[in-house]
Each structure stands twice: as C-alpha cells, then as structure tokens.
Chains A and B, each alone.
Chain A
C-alpha cells in the first residue's frame, strides 16, 4: 500500500511533536518550580536591613518588631517608629540609617518588598499558629542567619497541608501535637 502524507504525519510527525512539547513542558515545569513557588526569592530592599545582625547577633526577639504576630492575622512589618526606638541614638552615621532617618523625618512610609505571600484567597492567621507554640523558623527558615531576607519554604497549599497533616514530623518540638484542621473554610472563605 502506498504511504500517503497523512500516514507519515500521523505516525511520525505527530508523535515526535507531541513528545517534544510534553518534554519541554515537564522540564520547564520542574525546573521553574522553585521560582514559581517563590523559594529562594530574595529581592533588594529599600534599606539593607540585616536580620542576621538584629535577630542573630544581637538576639532581639522577633516580636519586638513584628508586634502583631500574637494578636491577629498579620505579623506586621514594623512601623518606622519602632526602628527609631533605637536608631535615634544607635549608629546614626551609617548610610543605611541615614536613609531610615530621612524616611522617618519626611513621614514617608518605607516601601519594603514583600517576600512571603500566601494568595489573597487564603486567610492565613499568624496568631493562631504562634499562640499554639509554632516557631517562626518552621515556616520562615533560619532568619537569624540571613543577611538579606529570603523565602526558604513553599508558600503554597501543599506546604500548608504538609504540616497540618504531619505535624509530628514538621513541628516535633511541640509535645503531643495535634493535627491541624484540613477543611476548606480554615483558610478560604
């Protein structure tokens, strides 16, 4: 029987095209996963603030600045007046602190780049987690050693459920830890 162009297309060209497309998709999908999930995201901030210096070396408690963390949904990036508690006297001559002081003096809020974000349709609540005894580093990583803040864990639904389903692996430091709720309205409403 004569081979027609159609046969060739169906038997050879189509499978090859499909294979290439699928392979390209799969490779890109996995290769770009971290970026899509935001893992490793570490944008430049308007002021070079070092968590390593403040939280690590000086051992300032997280809640000194992130005041909302036990009270409500938002942990809160500190308002500039909290920085100025110390920096009205401390290290006044450093270039980054001069930047800070200028923001404060002009009453201009500092536009910090957002690093950690859950989608807007998820209502994550800091206080229920922190008041339950979960440590900040369980989600945010070892911030005390970060010169520049960076996302180290997945901030997607798999990440949330991983811990809600297997808390004994993820947050083993809490004794008799109970599973977290898994129903939709826990986060979405």
Chain B
C-alpha cells in the first residue's frame, strides 16, 4: 500500500487566510492591528457636524421633553384591525401555510415547499418527501423568493418601448404571426431546454396552427457534452443517476459535482453519507484533478492540479497504466485502442506535471482495489473526447454498476445542435424569418459570440420577448410580453424518468403579467380569451392524458389530481435498463498534443447562475465559496503564474482570445494550475435590472462554438497588464485576528483541528489534547432543563453556503452592497470561514461555518452598558434590538466576530432604497424584527422557530423537546452537517456529537463556553492499512 509522504504531522499545520497573510504582507499586518477597515472613517468630518453647542442641544431637549409631557393629555390612536370580510377557510392570520411545488431556477426541478403567511409567500424550503431532492434546495432556490418581489420586474406589455395594453399587443402579434405564415416565413421560438411535458404540448399546439414554426432550444452551461458522450458510448442520451453513496473512491476530473454539476443536491447528500463519522469511519476518498480550485476540489482528500485541456492525456496515461501495465481488463481488439493508449505513460505524465508520485500511486492502487466501487466524473465544461475517455475508464473498471437508469434524466426536448442553429441564423440573415419569439430566454447574452445572434435579429420582422425581467434580449425586441413569476404560475416537469413534478401558483400575479404558456395558447386561437386558469385547465388535461391514464389509479381523476398537487410530485414506475459500452465510440478520438501557453477556462458561477438570478441582491452578496469575493467575477491565476507575469490582486489585465479582448481583474488564487486563467460567467449584464447592471464582466463574449454549441476551454490566451486596477471585494480578509497577541494567551490556540481517518481508526482520541480544567472568574449559571446547542460536522460540510442563503431569507437580512462589504459591514449572520494550509501553490483547504456560538460565558454580555445582550435560561445569548443603543462594545469583545452592526438602515441605504418599498417589504418574515439603523444584531438560533415549537408544545400540553426545532441553516444544509437540539439531554443527537471524540469547541481555552460543537475534519489520506 502506498502512503503519501508527509513529514509534517497534520496537527502541526499553520493555517493562513490568504496569500497576503502567508507572506505577512505589511498591509495585512496593518489590517490585523486596526479594528476598522481602511476607509471606514473617511466620510467622517467633524466640521460637517451641526453647529449647535452641547448646552444649547440639552436645553432644546429639555424644553421639548417638557412640551411632550404636557402634550400627553389624550389617548394615542392605535390604528385599526381590519379582518377579512369572508375569511378563506385555510388562512388563519399568524399561522403559515405550506404549499408543495417545484423550483424552476434551473434544470434540476427540485421539490419545494412554499411557506406563505396571510397569502404571501415568504420562504422556500425543500420538500422533504420529494424522492430526489429530499427536502433540500440550493442557494438560488431559497433566494428565488426575492425575485417575486423584485421592483425591476416588467409590469406591463411594451410595444417599441412604449407601455401598451394586452389587447393591442395581442392584436398586433396575431397580425405579425398571420403575415409571417402567409408569406411562408419562418416563425422561431427560442427557449431554454424544456423539462415540462405540458409546456412542450403548448408549443406543439402553436406549431399546429403555424406550421412554419420551429423551436430552438439551448443551455449555455448544461450537461450537453456529457449527453453527447453517452450517445456515442451507450447509444442513449439519458444520463443515469449515479449511486455516489456506494462509491469508495470518487475521482473528479474538473467536475464540480458537489455544487455546479449534475444533480448536485442529490450528489452532496449521497456523497456525504460516506463522510459520516457517527455511522461508520469507512470514509470514501475524493480525488480531485482540476485546474481551478472548485468547491469539490476544496473538499478533496487528495488533489492534483492539471490544466483542463490536459485531462485527455491524463486519462490515456491512466488507461495505459491500468490496461497495459496492470492488465485490469483485456483490451478489446479490432479498434485502435491499444495503439491509442500505448503512446502514453503515467510515470512520464506525473513527472511532467510535477505531481507527488505518492498521490498518483495511491490513486492507481485505489482504483485497482475498488473495481466496481469507484467512479470517475468528468466536468461539464471539458471536451467531448475527455468525456468519452472517462466513460471508457469507468467501463474497464466495472464502475457502470453504479449507474441507475431506473432514475435517469429525461429529455422532453433536446438542445438544438450547432448545425440547426447555423441554419436558423442563416435564415435570419436571408430575411426568411418573420417572427422570433424568445420564450423566457436570453440568447443575446448567452449564445456563443460567433453566432452573432444580435446582428441576425435585426433582419427579423418582429421580435417578441416573453420575459420577467429586462434583459439584453428584451432590449432588442419590439414586443415585450411580461410573464408571471414562477410562484404565480402553473406547471409540470420531470426531475427524473421516475419523478414527475407539479408546480402550483401561491399568489395571484402582482403585476399585469400572464402565464407564458397561456400567452402562446391565446396566440394559437383568436377566439381563446386569456384567463388565469387557461393554462391550469390545459395542464390538468395534459396530466390526465399522460399521467393519470397511464398510472391507472383506483381513485377518480379529480381526487388524484388534488392529491398529486398536494404532494407536488408523482412517482412513476420505471424499468431498470442497462446499456452496453460501445467501443466504436473511440474511433473518433484524436488527441492533439497541447502547447504550454496560457489557457482560459470559463466556468459557470456558483450563486448567480446564468438565467434570472443576477438581479438578486442576496445571491450577489453571498461570498464566493472559494475566493470569498462578492459582487464580482474575476480572473483567477495561480501564485506562480502571477509572479511570472508580475500580477497582484486587483490588477486589471487585458485578456485576448480569438481576437476578442476584454479587461478582467486578477485574483491570485492558491491551488490553481499554473498558466491558467479561470473565469466564471454570468456577470456583466447590460440593459437589465438595477442590481445586476454593472456587476462584474461579461465573459460570455469569449464563448464560441466548436463542433458543439459551446466551447469553454481556450488555449493560446494572450494576457497583458493594463496598468489599471479594479477593486475586488473579498470577505476573506475581514476580521483578522492578530495572532502574535493571542499567542501570549495560549500557545496552542486552534480554531481548526484536523487529522486523518487513519489516525482516528488507530486511536479515536488522537486529535484533541487531554482535557484541561479551565476556571472562570465569574459565578456561573447552572442550566437545568432544556439547553440549546448546535453541532456542525466539518466532515460532511462542503462549504456550499446554502445555510447562509437560508439564514438570509429566514431572518430578514438586508443587502448592503459592494461598497459596504468592502469596509467590512456585510450583514450575514452566518459566514463560511476558509483557511488554507500548506504551500500557496498547492494548499489544503479547511472550511468552517461560523455563527454566534451562544457562549455560556459570553464576553459580549459583560460589556454591554445597557444590558441589551444577556443570557436566557435555556442557554441562548439574547440580543434585544429595542434596548440596544449601538455602542458596538459587544462586537469588539466577541472573539468569533459574528456580531453585525446596522451602520445604516441598509434597506434604505442600498442602491437608492431599491429594496425599501411596499412590494419588497412583503418578503420579510413577520416573525422576525426588521432591524433599523444603530442596532447590533447576530444569529439567534432561529428564536422565532423555537418560540413556534414552544407554542405547539404548550397547546399539546407537553414539554418542549430539543428535536422539535430545526434552524433555517440546518434545514438548508444539503449534507445534513448541522445538528440542533437539547445538549442537556444525553440521548439527543446533538449531545452525541458534543461528547464525541472528535467534537471540539472553537477557542475553548478562552473559557467562554460556546454551545456550538465542531466535528474535526478527518481527511482520508492514504489507502488501506490501519
């Protein structure tokens, strides 16, 4: 068995927060020493203060107090209580209703529960009964509630940018459609790939009426390449579910399967079941071979850096090692496989890349030992070659056992291939296209730049855009058709072949908008009048034809329909098929040797997405999981490359690819492959909403097509310094602790404890030093009865940040904007701290969600002059807004730096009070106070949820139990890494974590007695022997 040589004991690791920290940059030393970030006091000018003297001020104050006192002679008006006239039976003011539906944020189609209060949706949670997503949704899904109340939504139909009426719009569009079909001109509908059978039916109905209609589907960052490779290798384009929970070895080739690829919600759940120390110490092992540092890469047990275009060579070398040297399987004859892989050699490849040999030896031996129990995942942005080779690798290792085709991805519609797009563009240029309908899509922004779509659009007689928000495409459209938000719409879709979902509206349209499918239906029949339930009925009919009759249930249709809508999904029977690997898929593989110049890798971003989330302030402000940059995208380069090119953070560089030039800011990112730029797409929007406009850079301009619609990896990239700078804002360098000072306190002050699973198996107590008896100087409170506590399992946590999103929505957290984040005033109650260890070239990454630790001996409490923060008998550190006067002493005294101060009324302060209006106020959780200026705030362990559970317990006449409450972050965590409950109950899950051998408290030696336990990260380093 190989073992990775590592002279350092893992517990010796010195952690560093960023490169500037590692090299003790003088600027960082300054930041560490100062309490406030630079620029915080810039706007403070004593001369600008009011000229009234202190005495005069007090005199005025006294006088006005006297006047007020004498004026109190009548009762204050207390307003009105306006009850319903006819109360709907299901609505009880003050009590939330939940409706099952489907998230339409991306193509995953997760099941959701929409929480509504008094008829307005306020929070989106996962539907726990949904067979695929099992109660979890991503950050986008959770924050999507803000899109419903976005003031930028298009509220009226527009014709030539002039407000118009639906009647006029419909008449004119019907005339255009008629004209086009009479002149035998093409009518094109451009849309994202559609997962909904009934939407597709509506489209077909449209085609029936207008035979010259054609559909064009696309996805800019989808699984298209993977699907193509499946078509070649297995003769099917149905991608199976992958049983990651059965894989002992997971190898990710530039595949961010934990946060951006495949069904990452399901992947995270399945993957983390094999990192669960409470169940079994037989952890899986994750190898990540990648160019950029992705979220998956941060979680890798063993990580190797490789430029994305070299992945083919790597797989071929690995195949050579496995097939020719180790003879894992016989090489099928009659094709060029032997001659293909014979040229490559893993040893040479390893040497050329400068990899540690031990790592690659470990990988090879792991694969040999775990045949049929390992899986190789190729990233969505890699080439078709790489995907085919990865499939071959899985095939020879017998890993196809992990493919589950009984739950495969369904293609209701396929993306159009490059040829059909080129035809369409040609037709447009030849003026053969009469009408183009953008069906809730934004091709002007997303299609490859060599398609020149915007130009071709000029030759079309009528351009119609159905859209929720203004976009690049609506800017070029004659007719803008405003459509319903997803929470105002009916719909259906397939998550997988065995899961059919239903989507129901939970609020009437807020604006003068219509359901997009119904709009199409009204255009197919002049007599058909639009009504709110037009598509509802259409959907019901479609459901009856496709689902009900095929399922043939014993109940009648109406009750089956209602119960399906109630559940939000229907499980369909499927047969498990298997497909044989088709070796002729390899015939087309040609590997060209790669040059060693700079490359550019364009990846999807984590939170904003490419579709309709960039106008969502919450998502813009969640820090990037790796770099912690907010409100921007950037070009990440490795440390060595930055040195070579003389670049530092915030430098603006000019990047040139295939004659397209663009300026991008630099972020020096540890752990990147050398000579590589990694940029995320989805930013730089134009002619769009207030939030998204001017945020980041539009790197979609680089995207061009190769033999497929999109190509994401570019070689021979020219990089030049421009001499200009651009300020990127990262939360990573906020809240530095001045270590030399603290070293005097305690030499082994540790925030992160880490070890390996092998050390743990030898001695479960290896990591944590002997318990020392600590003494306090104050009298301590005894906690009898229930006491709240939390445990966070750092083995399961992938640092995805969905907890932050869930917390934001639940607790009415405001958006503060880039300038305020820059001065350290972000308001999120929860943050994910990221620490590096090892060398800046190839670091190991440790992540730690940090929130208020609800300390028993809370240092914040002692220093509050007005007792606005104090302790509750159930162990909570209470923060009382109406008592707080804003001295900020508590924040200063908090060792975890988790308190947030309202320097402004941020809703009013941000973007000209963008979120301060009657509409957006509807998103607020009525059970949580909306904090105003001058007030300190912090995590409350979701006290409103505790109180709701207490109310229920009292009404049932029982005691409140620890597991009655789920916090918002716990509910959001796709890995179930967060546990909450009663730590005084020895049987509760949270106390088992708390008393576990690897459970530790952060900064324990300060004796603040925190109530959040962290489970130390155990890396699965070397194979086999224990």
Contact = CB atoms under 8 A, between A and B. Distances in A.
Contacts of B69: 24-25, 28-29, 32
B955 interface: yes
Contact of B943 (A24, A29, A67, A189): A189
Contact of A72 (B66, B73, B74, B94): B94
A109 B947 contact: no
A67 B92 contact: yes
20 contacts: A25-B65, A25-B66, A41-B75, A67-B92, A71-B92, A76-B83, A79-B86, A81-B84, A111-B80, A112-B80, A114-B80, A117-B78, A117-B79, A123-B947, A125-B951, A128-B950, A183-B872, A184-B878, A188-B881, A189-B940
B954 interface: yes
Interface string A112-156: 111101010101010110011000000000000000000000000
A181 interface: yes
B278 interface: no
B870 A184 contact: yes
Contacts, number: 148
Contact of A131 (B65, B66, B95, B954): B954
If over half of A's interface residues share one DSSP class (helix, strand or loop), that class is named, otherwise mixed; here it is loop
Interface of A: 21, 24-25, 28-29, 32, 35-36, 38, 40-41, 43, 67-68, 70-74, 76-82, 103-104, 107-115, 117, 119, 121, 123, 125, 127-128, 131-132, 181, 183-185, 188-189
A24 to B, nearest CB: 7
A189 B80 contact: no
Given A28-B72, A127-B954, A128-B954, A115 B78 contact: yes
B94 A77 contact: no
B94 A74 contact: yes
A188 B955 CA distance: 21
Nearest to A25: B69
Contacts of B957: 131
A28 B880 CA distance: 30
B972 to A, nearest CB: 20
A112 B878 CA distance: 36
A185 B86 CA distance: 35
A32 B73 contact: yes
B66 A189 contact: no
A142 B680 CA distance: 67
B880 A188 contact: yes
A108 B93 contact: no
A20 B85 CA distance: 53
Contact of B929 (A29, A35, A82, A189): A189
Nearest to B873: A183
A121 B882 contact: yes
B67 to A, nearest CB: 10
A71 B92 CA distance: 9
Contacts of A184: 870, 872, 878, 880, 883
B944 interface: yes
B76 interface: yes
A79 B954 CA distance: 26
Nearest to B957: A131
Contacts of B84: 79-81, 109
User: Chain B binding site: helix, strand, loop or mixed by DSSP?
Assistant: loop
B253 interface: no
A36 B880 contact: no
A68 B947 contact: no
Contacts of B72: 28, 32, 35-36
A135 to B, nearest CB: 16
Contacts of B876: 185
A73 B94 contact: yes
Interface string B83-100: 111110000111100000
A76 B93 contact: yes
Contact of A189 (B70, B83, B944): B944
Contacts of B82: 109-112
B75 A38 contact: yes
Contacts of A70: 955
Given A35-B72, A74-B93, A77-B83, A185 B940 contact: yes
B465 to A, nearest CB: 38
Nearest to B928: A189
B75 A132 contact: no
Contacts of A21: 62, 66
A113 B872 CA distance: 36
Contacts of B77: 43
B85 A72 contact: no
Contacts of B944: 123, 189
Interface string B845-888: 00000000000000000000000001111001010111100000
A107 B86 contact: yes
A57 to B, nearest CB: 24
B410 to A, nearest CB: 42
A184 B929 CA distance: 14
